[in-house]
Amino acid sequence: MKIVSLRPVKLADENTPTPAAKNYTDYPLIILSQGERKQIARITANADGSYRATLPPGDYILDVEGRVARRLRVRAQPFRIVSNEAVHVDMTIITGFGAEVSAPQE
């Protein structure tokens, strides 16, 4: 998983603190059944952004919990689990979209 921020760029000065790294626990992932879109699992990425889930064979969708309400730019990722195979699904989360849209116009 990768988290990207679209917050406006601010000029650096000597007193500007270094921004903290994004905390993956702030962006829990959900696995939905592809047909009914029923939540099957909720997972949290570890400190390096990787995650694991064990699922039965079938078609699923990986999404971010609460992405619409939080105004995150995320493309839900459909994927298929086949018996006795591992699947790698990447997820990129773009934050700061809500702040960018609601910024006052000059």
30-48 per-position pLDDT tens digit: 999 998 899 999 999 888 8
| Model pLDDT, residue 8 | 52
pTM of the model: 0.70
**Can you read off the two tokens belonging to residue 8?**
């406006």
Q: How far apart are CA 11 and CA 66, in angstroms?
A: 32
Radius of gyration (Cα) for the chain, nearest Å? 17
Q: How far apart are CA 20 and CA 45, in angstroms?
A: 17
